Chain A
Amino acid sequence: MPTIRAASASLRLRSLDARYGLLGALLIAPTVLVFCTVIVYPLVSAIYLGLFSIYTPTMEGEWVGLDNYRRLLASGEFWRSLANNLIWTAGTLTLQIVFGILVALMLHRNLAFRALARSLVLFPYFLSTVVAVLVWRWLFNDLYGVLNHLLLWAGIVDLPVDWLGSMPNAMISLIFVGAWKYFPFVVIAVLARLQAIPDELYEAASIDGAGAWARFTDVTLPQLRDVLIVVVLLRTIWDFKEFDLIFLLTGGGPIIGTQTLPLMVYKEAFALNQMGGASAAAVLMMLIMLLFMSLYLSRARD
Protein backbone atom coordinates (compact mmCIF):
# COMPACT_ATOMS: atom_id res chain seq x y z
CA MET A 1 0.00 0.00 0.00
CA PRO A 2 2.60 2.61 0.96
CA THR A 3 4.58 1.93 -2.18
CA ILE A 4 1.56 2.57 -4.32
CA ARG A 5 0.87 5.82 -2.54
CA ALA A 6 4.44 6.93 -3.00
CA ALA A 7 4.29 6.00 -6.64
CA SER A 8 1.13 7.99 -7.16
CA ALA A 9 2.63 10.94 -5.33
CA SER A 10 5.67 10.96 -7.53
CA LEU A 11 3.36 10.55 -10.49
CA ARG A 12 1.53 13.66 -9.40
CA LEU A 13 4.78 15.58 -9.27
CA ARG A 14 5.63 14.42 -12.71
CA SER A 15 2.12 15.09 -13.98
CA LEU A 16 1.88 17.14 -17.11
CA ASP A 17 -0.18 19.92 -15.54
CA ALA A 18 2.33 20.30 -12.74
CA ARG A 19 5.15 20.52 -15.25
CA TYR A 20 3.21 23.09 -17.27
CA GLY A 21 2.46 25.07 -14.13
CA LEU A 22 6.14 25.04 -13.29
CA LEU A 23 7.05 26.26 -16.76
CA GLY A 24 4.44 29.02 -16.49
CA ALA A 25 5.86 30.08 -13.16
CA LEU A 26 9.34 30.05 -14.65
CA LEU A 27 8.25 32.34 -17.47
CA ILE A 28 6.64 34.84 -15.13
CA ALA A 29 9.54 34.67 -12.70
CA PRO A 30 11.59 37.51 -14.25
CA THR A 31 8.54 39.74 -14.11
CA VAL A 32 7.88 38.86 -10.50
CA LEU A 33 11.52 39.40 -9.70
CA VAL A 34 11.52 42.85 -11.28
CA PHE A 35 8.26 43.70 -9.58
CA CYS A 36 9.57 42.66 -6.21
CA THR A 37 12.93 44.34 -6.40
CA VAL A 38 12.19 47.54 -8.19
CA ILE A 39 8.54 48.11 -7.48
CA VAL A 40 7.37 46.29 -4.41
CA TYR A 41 10.53 46.99 -2.44
CA PRO A 42 10.42 50.74 -3.09
CA LEU A 43 6.69 50.70 -2.41
CA VAL A 44 7.10 48.97 0.91
CA SER A 45 9.92 51.30 1.82
CA ALA A 46 7.73 54.28 0.92
CA ILE A 47 5.06 53.08 3.29
CA TYR A 48 7.73 52.40 5.90
CA LEU A 49 9.54 55.70 5.47
CA GLY A 50 6.25 57.54 5.74
CA LEU A 51 6.18 56.63 9.42
CA PHE A 52 9.52 58.33 10.13
CA SER A 53 10.88 61.82 10.11
CA ILE A 54 13.76 61.36 7.73
CA TYR A 55 16.47 63.70 6.54
CA THR A 56 16.89 62.84 2.88
CA PRO A 57 20.67 63.05 2.43
CA THR A 58 21.34 60.72 5.36
CA MET A 59 18.13 58.68 5.19
CA GLU A 60 18.23 58.68 8.96
CA GLY A 61 15.44 59.69 11.22
CA GLU A 62 13.14 58.80 14.04
CA TRP A 63 9.81 57.09 14.35
CA VAL A 64 6.92 59.52 14.30
CA GLY A 65 4.05 57.16 13.63
CA LEU A 66 1.26 58.81 11.73
CA ASP A 67 2.45 62.36 12.41
CA ASN A 68 3.46 62.90 8.80
CA TYR A 69 -0.05 62.01 7.69
CA ARG A 70 -1.62 64.19 10.36
CA ARG A 71 0.56 67.12 9.38
CA LEU A 72 -0.20 66.68 5.68
CA LEU A 73 -3.94 66.33 6.11
CA ALA A 74 -3.98 69.41 8.32
CA SER A 75 -1.97 71.51 5.87
CA GLY A 76 -3.67 73.66 3.30
CA GLU A 77 -0.86 72.94 0.88
CA PHE A 78 -1.72 69.27 0.56
CA TRP A 79 -5.33 69.97 -0.21
CA ARG A 80 -4.44 72.76 -2.58
CA SER A 81 -2.02 70.45 -4.39
CA LEU A 82 -4.69 67.79 -4.58
CA ALA A 83 -7.16 70.31 -5.97
CA ASN A 84 -4.57 71.43 -8.52
CA ASN A 85 -3.90 67.84 -9.39
CA LEU A 86 -7.57 67.22 -10.04
CA ILE A 87 -7.99 70.41 -12.05
CA TRP A 88 -4.93 69.63 -14.15
CA THR A 89 -5.91 66.01 -14.68
CA ALA A 90 -9.53 66.73 -15.51
CA GLY A 91 -8.68 69.69 -17.71
CA THR A 92 -5.93 68.17 -19.74
CA LEU A 93 -7.67 64.80 -19.99
CA THR A 94 -10.86 66.35 -21.32
CA LEU A 95 -8.94 68.32 -23.91
CA GLN A 96 -6.91 65.27 -24.88
CA ILE A 97 -9.99 63.12 -25.36
CA VAL A 98 -12.09 65.67 -27.22
CA PHE A 99 -9.26 66.85 -29.37
CA GLY A 100 -7.95 63.34 -29.87
CA ILE A 101 -11.29 62.07 -31.14
CA LEU A 102 -11.79 65.05 -33.43
CA VAL A 103 -8.34 64.79 -34.97
CA ALA A 104 -8.65 61.03 -35.30
CA LEU A 105 -11.92 61.45 -37.16
CA MET A 106 -10.24 64.02 -39.35
CA LEU A 107 -7.27 61.81 -40.08
CA HIS A 108 -9.54 58.84 -40.71
CA ARG A 109 -11.07 60.64 -43.66
CA ASN A 110 -9.48 60.87 -47.01
CA LEU A 111 -6.94 63.62 -46.69
CA ALA A 112 -4.22 64.71 -49.07
CA PHE A 113 -0.80 63.53 -47.83
CA ARG A 114 -2.52 61.69 -45.04
CA ALA A 115 0.59 59.79 -43.97
CA LEU A 116 2.51 63.02 -43.52
CA ALA A 117 -0.38 64.60 -41.66
CA ARG A 118 -0.49 61.61 -39.34
CA SER A 119 3.21 61.77 -38.63
CA LEU A 120 3.01 65.48 -37.86
CA VAL A 121 0.05 65.01 -35.55
CA LEU A 122 1.57 62.09 -33.70
CA PHE A 123 4.84 63.88 -33.33
CA PRO A 124 4.19 65.76 -30.08
CA TYR A 125 3.78 62.41 -28.38
CA PHE A 126 7.19 61.20 -29.53
CA LEU A 127 8.80 64.44 -28.56
CA SER A 128 10.74 64.37 -25.36
CA THR A 129 8.93 66.21 -22.59
CA VAL A 130 12.05 68.22 -21.99
CA VAL A 131 12.14 69.39 -25.58
CA ALA A 132 8.43 70.04 -25.69
CA VAL A 133 8.56 72.18 -22.58
CA LEU A 134 11.54 74.14 -23.80
CA VAL A 135 9.93 74.87 -27.13
CA TRP A 136 6.74 75.98 -25.44
CA ARG A 137 8.59 78.15 -22.98
CA TRP A 138 10.29 79.76 -25.92
CA LEU A 139 6.94 80.29 -27.62
CA PHE A 140 5.45 81.69 -24.39
CA ASN A 141 8.38 84.03 -23.74
CA ASP A 142 7.18 87.51 -22.87
CA LEU A 143 9.78 89.42 -24.84
CA TYR A 144 10.82 87.23 -27.74
CA GLY A 145 7.97 84.74 -27.82
CA VAL A 146 6.13 84.42 -31.08
CA LEU A 147 2.81 83.76 -29.36
CA ASN A 148 2.70 87.11 -27.65
CA HIS A 149 3.91 88.77 -30.78
CA LEU A 150 1.12 87.24 -32.84
CA LEU A 151 -1.49 88.39 -30.33
CA LEU A 152 -0.03 91.88 -30.22
CA TRP A 153 0.15 92.02 -33.99
CA ALA A 154 -3.44 90.88 -34.33
CA GLY A 155 -4.45 93.52 -31.84
CA ILE A 156 -5.97 91.01 -29.45
CA VAL A 157 -3.86 92.23 -26.54
CA ASP A 158 -2.03 95.48 -25.81
CA LEU A 159 0.63 94.04 -23.57
CA PRO A 160 2.40 90.71 -23.79
CA VAL A 161 0.49 88.07 -21.88
CA ASP A 162 2.17 86.50 -18.90
CA TRP A 163 1.46 82.91 -19.87
CA LEU A 164 3.23 81.01 -17.16
CA GLY A 165 3.75 83.40 -14.26
CA SER A 166 0.26 84.33 -13.15
CA MET A 167 -2.98 82.58 -12.43
CA PRO A 168 -5.10 81.35 -14.00
CA ASN A 169 -2.92 81.66 -17.12
CA ALA A 170 -0.31 79.26 -15.79
CA MET A 171 -2.80 76.47 -15.17
CA ILE A 172 -4.47 77.06 -18.51
CA SER A 173 -1.15 77.04 -20.34
CA LEU A 174 -0.13 73.91 -18.49
CA ILE A 175 -3.36 72.11 -19.31
CA PHE A 176 -3.02 73.21 -22.89
CA VAL A 177 0.58 72.08 -23.32
CA GLY A 178 -0.27 68.81 -21.59
CA ALA A 179 -3.13 68.28 -24.01
CA TRP A 180 -0.89 69.10 -26.95
CA LYS A 181 1.75 66.70 -25.79
CA TYR A 182 -0.48 63.74 -25.03
CA PHE A 183 -3.54 63.94 -27.28
CA PRO A 184 -1.75 61.92 -30.00
CA PHE A 185 -1.99 58.92 -27.72
CA VAL A 186 -5.76 59.22 -27.94
CA VAL A 187 -5.47 59.70 -31.69
CA ILE A 188 -3.47 56.49 -32.04
CA ALA A 189 -5.96 54.46 -30.08
CA VAL A 190 -9.08 55.96 -31.62
CA LEU A 191 -7.69 55.79 -35.13
CA ALA A 192 -6.95 52.12 -34.67
CA ARG A 193 -10.48 51.49 -33.52
CA LEU A 194 -12.03 53.59 -36.28
CA GLN A 195 -10.26 51.46 -38.87
CA ALA A 196 -11.92 48.43 -37.36
CA ILE A 197 -15.50 49.74 -37.54
CA PRO A 198 -17.19 47.94 -40.43
CA ASP A 199 -18.48 50.25 -43.15
CA GLU A 200 -21.78 48.38 -43.14
CA LEU A 201 -22.64 50.01 -39.85
CA TYR A 202 -22.41 53.44 -41.43
CA GLU A 203 -24.26 52.32 -44.51
CA ALA A 204 -27.02 50.90 -42.38
CA ALA A 205 -27.23 54.13 -40.42
CA SER A 206 -27.31 56.17 -43.62
CA ILE A 207 -30.11 54.04 -44.99
CA ASP A 208 -31.97 54.59 -41.74
CA GLY A 209 -31.71 58.30 -42.48
CA ALA A 210 -29.06 59.24 -39.92
CA GLY A 211 -27.25 62.52 -40.55
CA ALA A 212 -23.54 63.05 -39.98
CA TRP A 213 -24.01 63.92 -36.32
CA ALA A 214 -26.38 61.06 -35.69
CA ARG A 215 -23.95 58.69 -37.39
CA PHE A 216 -21.27 59.93 -35.04
CA THR A 217 -23.29 59.58 -31.85
CA ASP A 218 -25.14 56.40 -32.82
CA VAL A 219 -22.44 54.47 -34.63
CA THR A 220 -18.97 55.88 -33.98
CA LEU A 221 -19.18 56.74 -30.30
CA PRO A 222 -20.63 53.41 -29.12
CA GLN A 223 -17.96 51.62 -31.14
CA LEU A 224 -15.28 53.75 -29.49
CA ARG A 225 -16.59 53.13 -26.01
CA ASP A 226 -14.30 50.25 -25.11
CA VAL A 227 -11.22 51.98 -26.43
CA LEU A 228 -12.09 55.18 -24.64
CA ILE A 229 -12.62 53.42 -21.34
CA VAL A 230 -9.09 52.08 -21.46
CA VAL A 231 -7.57 55.25 -22.86
CA VAL A 232 -9.20 57.35 -20.18
CA LEU A 233 -7.95 54.97 -17.52
CA LEU A 234 -4.38 55.00 -18.77
CA ARG A 235 -4.25 58.71 -19.40
CA THR A 236 -5.82 59.51 -16.05
CA ILE A 237 -3.13 57.55 -14.28
CA TRP A 238 -0.35 59.10 -16.33
CA ASP A 239 -1.68 62.63 -16.13
CA PHE A 240 -2.26 62.33 -12.42
CA LYS A 241 1.35 61.21 -11.94
CA GLU A 242 2.82 63.69 -14.42
CA PHE A 243 5.96 65.23 -13.07
CA ASP A 244 8.38 66.20 -15.83
CA LEU A 245 6.05 68.46 -17.76
CA ILE A 246 4.81 70.49 -14.82
CA PHE A 247 8.16 70.61 -13.08
CA LEU A 248 9.88 71.92 -16.17
CA LEU A 249 7.14 74.25 -17.38
CA THR A 250 5.99 76.09 -14.29
CA GLY A 251 7.79 74.34 -11.45
CA GLY A 252 4.48 74.49 -9.62
CA GLY A 253 4.29 78.26 -9.57
CA PRO A 254 3.09 80.94 -9.31
CA ILE A 255 3.12 80.40 -5.55
CA ILE A 256 1.64 76.92 -5.50
CA GLY A 257 -0.89 77.66 -8.20
CA THR A 258 0.13 74.72 -10.39
CA GLN A 259 1.76 72.55 -7.77
CA THR A 260 0.37 69.05 -8.07
CA LEU A 261 0.97 66.19 -5.67
CA PRO A 262 4.02 64.75 -7.43
CA LEU A 263 5.66 68.17 -7.29
CA MET A 264 4.78 68.47 -3.66
CA VAL A 265 6.34 65.08 -3.04
CA TYR A 266 9.46 66.23 -4.88
CA LYS A 267 9.60 69.44 -2.87
CA GLU A 268 9.21 67.60 0.42
CA ALA A 269 11.80 65.01 -0.51
CA PHE A 270 14.51 67.11 -2.08
CA ALA A 271 13.95 70.79 -1.39
CA LEU A 272 12.98 70.33 2.22
CA ASN A 273 14.87 67.06 2.63
CA GLN A 274 11.87 65.53 4.39
CA MET A 275 11.77 62.02 2.98
CA GLY A 276 9.28 60.92 5.58
CA GLY A 277 6.76 63.58 4.70
CA ALA A 278 7.36 62.98 1.01
CA SER A 279 6.72 59.27 1.35
CA ALA A 280 3.57 59.91 3.32
CA ALA A 281 2.35 62.31 0.65
CA ALA A 282 3.12 59.74 -2.03
CA VAL A 283 1.26 57.03 -0.17
CA LEU A 284 -1.74 59.33 0.18
CA MET A 285 -1.51 60.10 -3.50
CA MET A 286 -1.51 56.43 -4.32
CA LEU A 287 -4.53 55.82 -2.14
CA ILE A 288 -6.39 58.63 -3.86
CA MET A 289 -5.57 57.19 -7.26
CA LEU A 290 -6.58 53.75 -6.14
CA LEU A 291 -9.90 55.12 -4.97
CA PHE A 292 -10.53 56.92 -8.25
CA MET A 293 -9.47 53.93 -10.25
CA SER A 294 -11.68 51.44 -8.50
CA LEU A 295 -14.61 53.84 -8.73
CA TYR A 296 -13.94 54.30 -12.40
CA LEU A 297 -13.50 50.62 -13.13
CA SER A 298 -16.68 49.66 -11.32
CA ARG A 299 -18.52 52.34 -13.26
CA ALA A 300 -16.98 51.39 -16.56
CA ARG A 301 -17.98 47.78 -16.09
CA ASP A 302 -21.68 48.66 -16.15
Chain B
Amino acid sequence: MQVTEYKPLIVAFCCNWCSYAGADLAGNNRLAYPADVKIIRVPCSCRVNPTFILRAFQRGADGVIICGCHPGDCHYTSGNYYTRRRMALLFSMLDYLGIERERTRVEWVSAAEGAKFAATMNDFVSTVAALGENKRLEDLRCKK
Protein backbone atom coordinates (compact mmCIF):
# COMPACT_ATOMS: atom_id res chain seq x y z
CA MET B 1 0.00 0.00 0.00
CA GLN B 2 1.11 3.45 -0.84
CA VAL B 3 2.25 5.42 2.13
CA THR B 4 0.45 8.70 2.13
CA GLU B 5 1.99 11.73 3.71
CA TYR B 6 -1.26 13.61 3.84
CA LYS B 7 -2.27 14.59 7.35
CA PRO B 8 -6.03 14.92 7.34
CA LEU B 9 -8.00 17.08 9.74
CA ILE B 10 -10.64 15.06 11.50
CA VAL B 11 -13.42 16.44 13.67
CA ALA B 12 -14.96 13.91 16.02
CA PHE B 13 -18.20 14.70 17.82
CA CYS B 14 -18.44 12.52 20.90
CA CYS B 15 -21.40 12.16 23.18
CA ASN B 16 -20.59 12.96 26.76
CA TRP B 17 -21.84 9.72 28.25
CA CYS B 18 -20.40 6.98 26.12
CA SER B 19 -18.00 7.95 23.39
CA TYR B 20 -16.28 10.81 25.16
CA ALA B 21 -15.78 8.46 28.08
CA GLY B 22 -14.59 5.84 25.60
CA ALA B 23 -12.04 8.32 24.31
CA ASP B 24 -10.97 8.98 27.88
CA LEU B 25 -10.58 5.25 28.40
CA ALA B 26 -8.44 5.00 25.29
CA GLY B 27 -6.31 7.68 26.93
CA ASN B 28 -6.21 5.87 30.26
CA ASN B 29 -5.01 2.77 28.47
CA ARG B 30 -2.55 4.78 26.37
CA LEU B 31 -4.06 3.48 23.14
CA ALA B 32 -2.56 5.71 20.50
CA TYR B 33 -4.41 7.22 17.57
CA PRO B 34 -3.38 10.06 15.28
CA ALA B 35 -3.38 13.58 16.67
CA ASP B 36 -5.31 14.59 13.54
CA VAL B 37 -8.44 13.68 15.48
CA LYS B 38 -9.90 16.59 17.43
CA ILE B 39 -12.80 15.81 19.70
CA ILE B 40 -15.75 18.06 20.40
CA ARG B 41 -17.87 17.09 23.37
CA VAL B 42 -21.63 17.17 22.93
CA PRO B 43 -24.20 15.99 25.46
CA CYS B 44 -25.59 13.43 23.04
CA SER B 45 -24.91 12.46 19.46
CA CYS B 46 -28.37 13.84 18.69
CA ARG B 47 -27.04 17.30 19.48
CA VAL B 48 -24.99 17.19 16.28
CA ASN B 49 -26.65 19.37 13.73
CA PRO B 50 -25.86 18.59 10.08
CA THR B 51 -24.84 22.22 9.92
CA PHE B 52 -21.90 21.50 12.21
CA ILE B 53 -20.69 18.81 9.86
CA LEU B 54 -20.91 21.02 6.80
CA ARG B 55 -19.31 23.84 8.74
CA ALA B 56 -16.37 21.61 9.59
CA PHE B 57 -15.91 20.70 5.95
CA GLN B 58 -16.19 24.32 4.94
CA ARG B 59 -13.47 25.30 7.37
CA GLY B 60 -11.11 22.66 6.11
CA ALA B 61 -11.93 19.40 7.84
CA ASP B 62 -11.25 16.34 5.74
CA GLY B 63 -13.43 13.97 7.67
CA VAL B 64 -16.14 14.16 10.29
CA ILE B 65 -17.07 11.32 12.60
CA ILE B 66 -19.89 11.21 15.08
CA CYS B 67 -19.65 8.86 18.00
CA GLY B 68 -22.49 8.03 20.33
CA CYS B 69 -23.74 5.40 22.70
CA HIS B 70 -24.74 2.10 21.16
CA PRO B 71 -28.36 2.07 20.02
CA GLY B 72 -30.44 1.22 23.04
CA ASP B 73 -27.86 2.58 25.46
CA CYS B 74 -28.46 6.28 24.98
CA HIS B 75 -28.26 8.18 28.22
CA TYR B 76 -31.31 10.06 27.00
CA THR B 77 -33.08 6.88 25.89
CA SER B 78 -33.62 7.78 22.27
CA GLY B 79 -31.11 10.43 21.23
CA ASN B 80 -28.89 8.19 19.18
CA TYR B 81 -31.87 6.73 17.36
CA TYR B 82 -32.58 10.21 16.03
CA THR B 83 -28.91 10.61 15.21
CA ARG B 84 -29.06 7.40 13.26
CA ARG B 85 -31.95 8.56 11.09
CA ARG B 86 -30.65 12.07 10.61
CA MET B 87 -27.20 10.95 9.65
CA ALA B 88 -28.43 8.12 7.44
CA LEU B 89 -30.35 10.68 5.42
CA LEU B 90 -27.61 13.29 5.48
CA PHE B 91 -24.87 10.87 4.45
CA SER B 92 -27.01 9.51 1.69
CA MET B 93 -27.55 13.07 0.47
CA LEU B 94 -23.86 13.89 0.58
CA ASP B 95 -23.17 10.76 -1.41
CA TYR B 96 -25.85 11.82 -3.88
CA LEU B 97 -24.04 15.11 -4.32
CA GLY B 98 -20.92 13.18 -5.20
CA ILE B 99 -19.09 13.84 -1.96
CA GLU B 100 -16.84 10.98 -0.93
CA ARG B 101 -18.84 8.80 1.41
CA GLU B 102 -15.75 7.79 3.38
CA ARG B 103 -15.42 11.30 4.76
CA THR B 104 -18.38 10.93 7.07
CA ARG B 105 -19.02 8.21 9.55
CA VAL B 106 -21.11 7.33 12.56
CA GLU B 107 -19.74 4.90 15.12
CA TRP B 108 -21.24 3.66 18.35
CA VAL B 109 -18.58 3.58 21.03
CA SER B 110 -19.46 2.79 24.61
CA ALA B 111 -17.68 4.09 27.67
CA ALA B 112 -16.05 0.70 27.99
CA GLU B 113 -14.74 0.59 24.44
CA GLY B 114 -11.50 2.51 24.69
CA ALA B 115 -9.88 0.05 22.33
CA LYS B 116 -12.69 0.41 19.84
CA PHE B 117 -12.40 4.17 20.01
CA ALA B 118 -8.70 4.09 19.22
CA ALA B 119 -9.15 1.47 16.49
CA THR B 120 -12.02 3.42 14.95
CA MET B 121 -10.01 6.61 14.88
CA ASN B 122 -6.97 4.87 13.42
CA ASP B 123 -9.09 3.36 10.73
CA PHE B 124 -10.98 6.55 9.97
CA VAL B 125 -7.83 8.64 9.79
CA SER B 126 -6.14 6.25 7.40
CA THR B 127 -9.28 6.04 5.26
CA VAL B 128 -9.56 9.80 5.02
CA ALA B 129 -5.82 10.22 4.55
CA ALA B 130 -6.03 7.93 1.55
CA LEU B 131 -8.71 10.16 0.05
CA GLY B 132 -6.52 13.21 0.50
CA GLU B 133 -7.68 16.75 0.84
CA ASN B 134 -11.38 17.53 0.93
CA LYS B 135 -12.04 19.40 -2.28
CA ARG B 136 -15.69 18.83 -2.86
CA LEU B 137 -17.03 20.60 0.18
CA GLU B 138 -14.30 23.12 0.65
CA ASP B 139 -14.74 26.83 0.87
CA LEU B 140 -11.88 28.36 -1.06
CA ARG B 141 -11.94 31.42 1.14
CA CYS B 142 -10.94 29.28 4.09
CA LYS B 143 -7.85 27.92 2.41
CA LYS B 144 -4.58 29.25 3.68
A and B together in one complex: no
A interface with B by C-beta (< 8 Å): none
B interface with A by C-beta (< 8 Å): none
